[in-house]
Amino acid sequence: MLKSSVAFASLAFVLAFAPAHAQTAAMKAECTQAEMTKMESDTAKMTNAATKSNALKEMTMAKEMMAKKDMTGCMTHMDNAMKMMNGK
């Protein structure tokens, strides 16, 4: 009885946090040339000039980090740009 209760509680815990993790993973940008190209295209379509300018600055910094092979820095700046594009 105790084993089944612990197993059930563990399963409930995992299922409760699985959607939150999936959403976070979906928001993360990959630091690849293909993703950069897609994000640049999406940024070009933005209508808010101030937000667009800030997103472009983040994309420029992401490119600089990618050139230095600093993938953590690149992903950080790409995530920042993505948040601006999504209005968060």
pLDDT (tens digit, 9 = 90+) per residue, 5-28?
Answer: 544 444 444 445 544 434 444 456
Backbone Cα Rg of the chain: 18
Output 45 or 15, whichever has higher pLDDT.
45
The position carrying tokens 């000039």 is 49
Which range among 2-6, 15-19, 40-44, 59-63 has the greatest average pLDDT?
59-63
Check residue 4 and give its pLDDT. Answer: 54
Output the six-digit token pair for 14: 């995992």
